[in-house]
């Protein structure tokens, strides 16, 4: 089909794309700025610029995505170069006085525009002003130079993380506590590759060394289950020192540059510069929100930590009364097994990937009125699954892809990748959006299919929430399409879908034992999973609060910022768990160099909104397709076409407040209505 995304780019094509795109955009810009003041209108000025930007986005998005998902190192290399060149070019575009003057000239005509068109024009002008337009030439040039430096630094940071190949070696004895499918999927050191036939327990078997990488399917199960405290400590030490040599300096350089940009443009801090176009508006509002939330969660977190330390003392009577960072996941998991009889390694046997995916499509297809059909489409790797998305009338509306397993050079986390934006083309035709979930779940191993832990299932639902936002959009303009919302709202559609994972009705649909698909997750296990939902909600949210305040402090403090010392101080003070000695975890805090700088608070901010929205589903039925249709129409389809808080109010029929959030995490304090959060 003609409109399907393509991925089979060659090195030569990617190398030529930037020049071709830039030349085409320059031709269109020249046409826009040449129009006389008298003849300017929305179509030939604001919309013409928007359309030109959308068209270049359509061309470059996939080639740039390939830097993160291609298995060809040459493709990744040229794609990285393309991303840098295009990113720096857009700094040039949005610091150009002639384009700004053309847009401003039209704005001053005060033509009567529709609500959406006026919003588009206002957002465009704000972009230019935040890049220094309106300043004297010397300051404008300084801002432009700093913005280009920042792009280069942020990309270097991301590339370093993506290319991590660190690992530790462990003995068979140090794998005690790990399940058979995990062990069978591990690589051995080169001299032990021929050991597969060795008898377990023999001297030869004891000498075998296994490789534990920094990839999440290796790291997380090991930290949760390995009984060897020393092996967990060694792995945590390596994991929290990823890219330390290069990335600490890159982050601190970025913080300095960001501060200079904000000061030049007239903002007191970089956080205030960023937040001026977010729901929160300024850093004081964010700090007040974060500290208010800490006050409501601290007591719960302290009680949870004490319970885990008591369990540690049972296991190690002579231990000090401190929970170290490499121990917290292990004792949290141990407590789940002891207190709730939850063994996630056993539970994952009920979540084979194929069953989960089929169930997820069935559930959210019903709620949101969409159908996901496997399709023979072009992809970027043999492991990719492709789907056509159809509406309830059978019309093709979008494309969707799964890229679920780790491989060398691939993006290390889980994310929704935008492949193509939805937007209105000429004659009212709507461009079909496309998106992918890129993740790192366990691969099939030996006799075992890919088995998802319950946390993996929650992650999958989370990322699928982003996908629904991206592919179900009906925004007229690419600027407002799907996930192009305020950063402190973007996590709402992802976090709301997580709640379906705690429904008995849903878990029965997405589960089925890998040996007998008809055997669903037992009722008693489901009951315990739901009961255990908030067993660590205090500590888990305090950890998020720590990251949020760390980010805000990095981007509001004056003078030199020692990122390591501030991390150490705030981690112990807020998360209640001390940072281990000799590590530089900020060197792998990719969010702060990938779009969430001065914005990490958005996860919690969005969670408050999320739980308020979900309370309507709880009341009307989580499988209620009428509620789903209203949610799709008011929250997913508009993107950023309208003010987000206004759309939330329409859905709720009132202003949002913290009540549902506090109830959902088991906080005992009665919440007060705080309309300032999103009002």
How high is the pLDDT of residue 363?
Answer: 98
Q: Rounded to whole angstroms, how far apart are CA atoms 253 and 153?
A: 8
Q: Tell me which DSSP letter residue 444 carries.
A: P
Percent of the chain at pLDDT > 70 equals 96
596-625: average pLDDT? 97
- By three-state DSSP, how is residue 522 classified? coil
Q: Rounded to whole angstroms, how far apart are CA atoms 347 and 661?
A: 27
Closest CA to 600 of 273, 274, 232: 274
Position of tokens 């490789």? 211
How high is the pLDDT of residue 318?
Answer: 85
668 pLDDT above the threshold of 70: no
How high is the pLDDT of residue 671?
Answer: 35
Q: Over the chain, what is the mean pLDDT?
A: 93
Q: Tell me the CATH architecture of domain 349-535.
A: 3-Layer(aba) Sandwich (3.40)
Q: Rounded to whole angstroms, how far apart are CA atoms 361 and 428?
A: 29
pLDDT digits (tens, 9 = 90+) for 403-439: 999 999 999 889 999 999 999 998 889 999 999 999 9
How high is the pLDDT of residue 201?
Answer: 54
Q: Rounded to whole angstroms, how far apart are CA atoms 194 and 187?
A: 11
Q: Rounded to whole angstroms, how far apart are CA atoms 194 and 116?
A: 65
Are 304 and 535 in contact by the 8 Å Cβ rule? The answer is yes
167-180: average pLDDT? 96
**423, β-bridge pairs:** 431
Are 132 and 95 in contact by the 8 Å Cβ rule? The answer is yes
pLDDT digits (tens, 9 = 90+) for 525-542: 999 999 999 999 999 999
551-557: average pLDDT? 97
C-alpha distances in Å from residue 413, one per residue of 170, 417, 618: 24, 12, 31
13 pLDDT above the threshold of 60: yes
Are 312 and 327 in contact by the 8 Å Cβ rule? The answer is yes
How high is the pLDDT of residue 667?
Answer: 81
384-398: average pLDDT? 97
pLDDT digits (tens, 9 = 90+) for 611-653: 999 999 999 999 999 999 999 999 999 999 999 999 999 999 9
674 pLDDT above the threshold of 50: no
Q: Rounded to whole angstroms, how far apart are CA atoms 80 and 159?
A: 8
C-alpha distances in Å from residue 191, one per residue of 180, 187, 194, 204: 22, 11, 8, 12
* Backbone phi, psi, residue 345, to 5°: -70, -30
Contacts of 6 (CB under 8 A, 6+ apart): 62, 378
Minimum mean pLDDT among 204-208, 235-239, 349-353, 362-366: which range? Answer: 204-208
Cα angle, residue 120 at apex, residues 117 and 124 outer, rounded to 5°: 145
4-15: average pLDDT? 96
pLDDT digits (tens, 9 = 90+) for 94-152: 999 999 999 999 999 989 999 999 999 999 999 999 999 989 999 999 999 999 999 99
Does residue 203 or residue 277 have the better pLDDT? 277
How high is the pLDDT of residue 116?
Answer: 97
Q: Rounded to whole angstroms, how far apart are CA atoms 225 and 229?
A: 10
Residue 496 CA neighbour count, 13 Å, CB half: 30
**Domain spanning 11-134, CATH class:** mainly alpha
- DSSP secondary structure string for all residues of 93-151: HTT-HHHHHHHHHHHTTT----HHHHHHHHHHHHHHHHTTTTS-HHHHHHHHHHHHHHH
pLDDT digits (tens, 9 = 90+) for 287-324: 999 999 999 999 999 999 999 999 999 988 888 889 99
Q: Tokens for 355?
A: 């069953």
Q: Rounded to whole angstroms, how far apart are CA atoms 676 and 679?
A: 5
- Tell me where in the chain the CATH 1.20.1050.40 domain(s) lie: 11-134
Are 204 and 195 in contact by the 8 Å Cβ rule? The answer is yes
Q: What is the enclosing helix (H) or strand (E) of 167?
A: strand 167-171
Q: Rounded to whole angstroms, how far apart are CA atoms 295 and 297?
A: 6
- DSSP secondary structure string for all residues of 554-593: HTT--S---HHHHHHHHIIIIISSPPPTT--GGGG-GGGG
pLDDT digits (tens, 9 = 90+) for 200-258: 555 555 678 999 999 999 999 999 999 999 999 999 999 999 999 999 999 999 999 99
How high is the pLDDT of residue 206?
Answer: 60
Q: Rounded to whole angstroms, how far apart are CA atoms 528 and 386?
A: 35
How high is the pLDDT of residue 326?
Answer: 97
- By three-state DSSP, how is residue 188 classified? strand
How high is the pLDDT of residue 3?
Answer: 84
Catalytic residue selected from 345, 349, 463, 597: 463
For the chain, what is the largest distance between any 2 Cα atoms, rounded to a whole number of angstroms? Answer: 88
Q: Which residues of 634-649 are buried (b: 16+ CB within 10 A; e: fewer)?
A: bbbbbbbbbebbebbb
Known catalytic membership, residue 463: yes
Q: Rounded to whole angstroms, how far apart are CA atoms 564 and 586?
A: 7
510 pLDDT above the threshold of 90: yes
Q: Tokens for 115?
A: 């609500």
564 pLDDT above the threshold of 90: yes
* Backbone phi, psi, residue 565, to 5°: -65, -40
Secondary structure (H, E, C), 190-250: HHHCCHHHCCCCCHHHHHCEEEEECCHHHHHHHHHHCCCHHHHHHHHHHHCCCCHHHHHHH
254-263: average pLDDT? 97
Percent of the chain at pLDDT > 90 equals 90
């Amino acid at each position: 089909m003609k409109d399907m995304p393509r991925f089979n780019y060659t090195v030569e094509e990617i190398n030529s794309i930037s020049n071709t795109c830039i030349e085409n955009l320059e031709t269109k810009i020249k046409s826009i700025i040449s129009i006389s003041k008298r003849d300017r209108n929305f179509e030939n000025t604001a919309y013409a610029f928007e359309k030109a930007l959308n068209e270049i986005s359509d061309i470059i998005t996939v080639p740039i995505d390939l830097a993160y998902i291609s298995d060809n190192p040459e493709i990744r290399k040229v794609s990285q170069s393309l991303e840098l060149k295009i990113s720096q070019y857009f700094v040039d575009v949005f610091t150009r006085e002639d384009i700004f003057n053309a847009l401003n000239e039209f704005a001053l005509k005060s033509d009567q525009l529709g609500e959406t068109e006026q919003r588009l024009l206002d957002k465009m002008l704000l972009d230019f002003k935040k890049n220094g337009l309106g300043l004297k030439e010397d300051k404008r040039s300084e801002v432009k130079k700093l913005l280009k430096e920042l792009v280069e630094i942020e990309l270097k940071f991301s590339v370093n993380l993506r290319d991590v190949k660190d690992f530790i070696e462990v003995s068979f004895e140090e794998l005690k506590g790990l399940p058979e499918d995990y062990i069978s999927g591990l690589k051995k050191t080169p001299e032990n590759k021929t050991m597969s036939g060795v008898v377990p327990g023999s001297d030869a078997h004891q000498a075998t060394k296994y490789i534990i990488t920094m990839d999440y399917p290796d790291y997380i199960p090991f930290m949760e289950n390995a009984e060897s405290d020393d092996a967990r400590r060694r792995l945590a030490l390596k994991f929290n020192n990823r890219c330390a040599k290069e990335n600490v300096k890159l982050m601190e350089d970025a913080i300095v540059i960001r501060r200079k940009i904000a000061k030049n443009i007239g903002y007191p801090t970089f956080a205030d510069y960023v937040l001026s176009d977010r729901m929160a508006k300024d850093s004081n509002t964010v700090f007040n929100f974060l500290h208010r939330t800490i006050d409501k969660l601290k007591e719960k977190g302290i009680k949870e930590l004490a319970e885990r330390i008591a369990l540690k003392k049972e296991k190690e009577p002579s231990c000090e009364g401190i929970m170290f960072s490499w121990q917290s996941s292990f004792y949290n998991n141990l407590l789940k097994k002891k207190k709730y009889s939850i063994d996630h390694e056993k539970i994952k046997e009920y979540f084979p990937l194929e069953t989960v995916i089929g169930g997820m499509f069935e559930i959210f297809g019903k709620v949101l009125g969409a159908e996901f059909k496997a399709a023979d489409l072009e992809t970027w790797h043999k492991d990719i699954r492709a789907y056509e998305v159809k509406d309830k009338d059978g019309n093709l509306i979008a494309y969707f892809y799964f890229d679920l397993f780790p491989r060398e050079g691939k993006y290390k986390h889980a994310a929704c990748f935008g492949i193509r934006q939805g937007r209105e083309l000429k004659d009212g035709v709507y461009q079909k959006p496309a998106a992918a979930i890129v993740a790192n779940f366990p691969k099939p191993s030996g006799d075992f299919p890919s088995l998802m832990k319950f946390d993996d299932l929650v992650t999958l639902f989370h990322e699928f929430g982003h996908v629904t936002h991206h592919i179900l959009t009906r925004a007229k303009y690419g600027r407002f399409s799907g996930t192009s919302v305020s950063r402190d709202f973007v996590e709402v559609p992802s976090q709301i879908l997580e709640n379906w994972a705690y429904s008995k009705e849903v878990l029965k649909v997405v589960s089925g034992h890998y040996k007998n698909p008809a055997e669903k997750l037992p009722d008693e296990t489901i009951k315990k999973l739901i009961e255990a939902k908030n067993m660590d909600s205090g500590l888990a949210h305090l950890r998020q609060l720590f990251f949020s305040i760390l980010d805000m402090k990095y981007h509001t403090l004056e003078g030199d910022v020692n990122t390591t010392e501030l991390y150490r101080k705030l981690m112990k003070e807020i998360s209640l768990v001390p940072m281990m000695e000799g590590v530089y975890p900020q060197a792998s805090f990719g969010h702060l160099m990938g779009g969430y700088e001065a914005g990490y608070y958005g996860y919690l901010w969005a969670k408050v909104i999320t739980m308020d929205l979900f309370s309507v589903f709880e009341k009307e039925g989580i499988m209620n397709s009428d509620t789903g249709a209203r949610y799709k129409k008011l929250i997913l389809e508009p993107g950023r076409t309208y003010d987000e808080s206004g759309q939330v109010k329409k859905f709720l029929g009132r202003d949002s407040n913290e009540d549902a959030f506090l109830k959902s995490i088991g906080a005992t304090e009665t919440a007060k209505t705080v309309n300032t959060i999103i009002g």
